[in-house]
Amino acid sequence: MLIQRREIGKKILFSMLLLPFQSMAKKNKFEEKYIDTFGKVALKLTDFPLDKDLIKTFYYSLAETESNFGVEIIKIYDTRITKNSSEKLSKLEKKIILTLYSGKVGNKKVTYTNSIEWLALSNFTKPPGICGGFFGFWNKPPK
């Protein structure tokens, strides 16, 4: 059986086209692990469960400003959750807490209505522009 140059060229080209997708799959696998770990760290630091999409948004926003953010999250997870340490909060942990409560990373607004500050105040008030209930609900004292 004769192998033609054209067939060899097609196979080489096809395998070259698949290479970026293989590395992307590995990268996404690591990122998913980091995002899941970030969600656990966020819950441990704030005691508020957050939506998976919101966790992802916060993760990517913080990762833009912090080098090796995924690796640092693993270290924090190890310290806070695995070892259950109560040592002083690191600078990054404080930044994560501030970000989750305010909904901001630096000057960039990540979320407004879904930040933890509004979850913490949900029995008393709502973000401006968000309806709190039926017409006249504000006339009754909170339960």
pLDDT at 43 over 80: yes
Token couple for 2: 């004769």
pLDDT tens per residue across span 50-100: 989 999 999 999 999 998 899 999 999 998 888 888 888 999 999 999 999
Supply the Cα-derived Rg of the chain in whole angstroms. 23
Tell me which residue of 62, 74, 137, 138 sits closest to 98, measured CA to CA.
Answer: 62
> pTM for this one?
0.69
Structure letter (DSSP) for residue 79: I
CA angle in degrees (0–180, nearest 5) for 71-75-80: 145
pLDDT at position 91? 93
Q: Chain-wide mean pLDDT for the chain?
A: 80
pLDDT (mean) for 17-41: 70
What is each CA distance from 9 to 3, 6, 137, in whole angstroms?
11, 5, 71
